Structure 1
Amino acid sequence: ASGRGEAAMERAAQGKEAEALQLLAEADRKVRGSQSFFAGLFGGSSRAEEACELYARAANMFKMAKNWSGAGNAFCQAARLHLQLQSKHDAASSFVDAGNAFKKADPQEAINCLLRAIEIYTDMGRFTIAAKHHISIAEIYESELVDIEKAIAHYEQAADYYKGEESNSSANKCLLKVAAYAAQLEQYQKAIEIYEQVGTNTMDNPLLKYSAKEYFFKAALCHFIVDELNAKLALEKYEEMFPAFTDSRECKLLKKLLEAHEEQNCEAYTEAVKEFDSISRLDQWLTTMLLRIKKSIQGEGDGDLK
């Protein structure tokens, strides 16, 4: 029975694909018609508008047939035509639709389409929506193309646009992504600056105060990897700026780790981490950073934290 069901779905998909191709052919005819000399005299633009609609319908048929590249290409044709007709907003949304379709088949092409959309939106002064699409591009670089440097660049651009529009919490979300990746790539100074900046921005906000201690904790860990003395000074500075930090488990852990490091006591270091982990689980990022610090204790090989 399941075989029959699959065959029926296959047939339905083929039907949608055939329908999409018909719509495309019809759209192409309209475009050619709209470009003729007579069309110029007798409403060529209305034919072009009809063609845009046909391309979009074809794209949706391709989507139903799960032909993502076909859908992406049809949306791109609609977008180009919208541009010729000076419909910038429609062109940008068609490029976004194209990008979303290509995500499933050709990540690089998805990025190209989203960049075209961003170009139009920034030109129109729509920076918040441009920022949102920079995040989509960053996510494709993160998960599909695994190019972290490029993901960082797009998160930074998004943060920049959000800041310009006074959307500070959206900007901070992007910056925290940048900081986490920068630290992974051993760009500690960059990570520290972001964690300190976001920590300072959030510590006076009653709703976000709880998160501030996490950002100062992460900044201190980045300092610690570079230099123990720097970490000590940073910790003193954070406690002074943000007294609530002193009583946090994060601050207490840092003090224990600094002490263990000073005494080159690997067991004490591991014990402190274990105790912290038993109450709040360490995520991948914290584990990586704590291991990097542990390796700087003399005689420590590649060991783990447990």
Structure 2
Amino acid sequence: MGDSEQKALNFMAEGEKKCHSSKGILSSMFGKESATLDSACECFEKAANNFKIAKNWTAAGKAFVKSAEIHGSMGNKHESANKYYEGANCFKKSDHQDAVKCLLKAIDIYTDLGRFTIAAKYHANLAEIYENELKDINKAIQHYEQAADYFRGEESNSAANKYSLIVAGLEAERDNYNKAIKIYEQVAMNSMDNSLLKYSVKDHFYKAALCHLCIDPLNGEQALERYEQLYPAFSDSRECKFLKALLQNLTDQNSEGFTETVKNYDSISRLDQWTTSLLLKLKRTISDEGDLR
């Protein structure tokens, strides 16, 4: 056992001793209970930091939770939430389910306090754990949506859009195209009159149109016409011309032309994984080949 871990264990023992002594009759009579519990929290936090040095992430997380629980019992809500969050950061390296539990407790506290911006950030953290570690896309979407709602309620529209767009991308990957389209179009419309956001409008319409094409070429054609009317600058974009070429290939059932169109576009504007995935789905509607090369 290293020095840091031994120090941590010593601090844990000292903290437990202080917790026990705070319940004594004399401590309560002379109003020392709160001070003793504050001191116990400090011991648990020192223990947690030493466990972190020793890279014993589970023990560090549990020590922070101990401090969080005591702060909560004393009505120190901010401190309690903060320690749950620190515990979650430790558990992320060892036990993702425990990290989720800590974040949920921190969210409950901050929501109760009306601190919705912080709660939104923690919902986003939760969503990332569910998406990337626990592979539970339903819960990831749920928490991304909650983060977006809270950010929007606090007038943090850029952050709200960020998480709404993540939801749209995940829904499209699950073939929930109509929900994805609704989000992309809503964000695009909300961005048109914003000098900072209007340059991203063509990207949102581009992704919405791809989703429309995945439903049906006629759907895609009608969507493109509507987007060009709503945002004339979209007509001259490479994205719009690319979509029109794809639409023609789909209408003609031209598999080779589809592949060539994709290659030409990719040679100038590198396609990301999400777009490539949708394009493969589209190609399969006109060919059994699962390849865009």
TM-score normalised according to structure 1 size: 0.94
Aligned counterpart, 1:21: 9
2:126 equivalent among 118, 134, 137 = 137
Q: Is there any run of 5+ residues in structure 2 with no aligned partner, and where? A: none
Q: After TM superposition, which residue ranges in structure 1, 4 or more long, deviate above 4 angstroms? A: none
Name 1:32's counterpart in structure 2: 20
* Other-structure match for 1:8: none
The one-letter code of the counterpart of 1:237 is: R
Q: Residue 140 of structure 1: CA displacement? A: 1.1
Which residue among 186, 198, 201 is the counterpart of 1:209? 198
Matches for 1:232-243 after TM superposition, within 5 Å: 232-243=221-232
Match of 1:181 in 2: 170
Name the CA distance, whole Å, in 2 between partners of 1:265 and 1:62: 62
What is the letter of the counterpart of residue 32 of structure 1? H
Cα distance, 1:206 vs structure 2? 2.8
Q: 1: CA distance between counterparts of 2:15 and 2:259?
A: 67
Identity %: 54
Equivalent positions of 1:103-114 (< 5 A) are 103-114=92-103
Q: Across the two proteins, how many residue pairs are aligned to each other?
A: 292
Residue 155 of structure 2: SS of its match in structure 1?
coil
- Take 2:290 and 2:82, find their aligned partners in 1: how far apart are those partners? 51
| 2:274 equivalent to 1:259 | no
Structure 2 counterpart of 1:103, which letter? K
Determine if the alignment matches structure 1 residue 289 to structure 2 residue 275.
Answer: no
Partner of 1:46: 35
Scaled by the length of structure 2, what TM-score is found? 0.98
State the alpha-carbon separation in 2 of the partners of residues 303 and 49 from structure 1. Answer: 62
Deviation at 1:31, TM superposition (A): 0.5
Q: Give the Cα–Cα distance (whole angstroms) in 2 for the partners of residues 89 and 223 of structure 1.
A: 46
Q: CA RMSD in A?
A: 1.0
Q: Which amino acid aligns with 1:303?
A: G
Q: Distance in 2 between matches of 1:206 and 1:277?
A: 29
User: Could you say which residue in structure 2 is the equivalent of 1:5?
Assistant: none
Show CA shifts across 1:130-185 (max 9, x none). 00011111111122112222111110010010011111100000011100000001
Cα drift, residue 259 of structure 1? 1.0
C-alpha separation in 1, matches of 2:201 and 2:89: 35
Which deviates the most, 200-209 or 71-80? 200-209
Structure 1 residue matching 2:26: 3-state secondary structure: helix
CA distance in 1, matches of 2:46, 2:171: 43
Hey, what's the Cα distance between the residues in 2 that align with 1:207 and 1:126? 27
SS in 2 for 1:186: coil
Aligned 1:1-306 pairs, distance under 5 A: 14-42=2-30, 43-297=32-286, 300-306=287-293
Q: Which runs of 5+ in 1 are unaligned?
A: 1-10
Q: Secondary structure at the match of 2:290?
A: coil
Q: Which amino acid aligns with 1:137?
A: L
Deviations 1:54-82 (A, max 9, x none): 11111001001110011000000000000
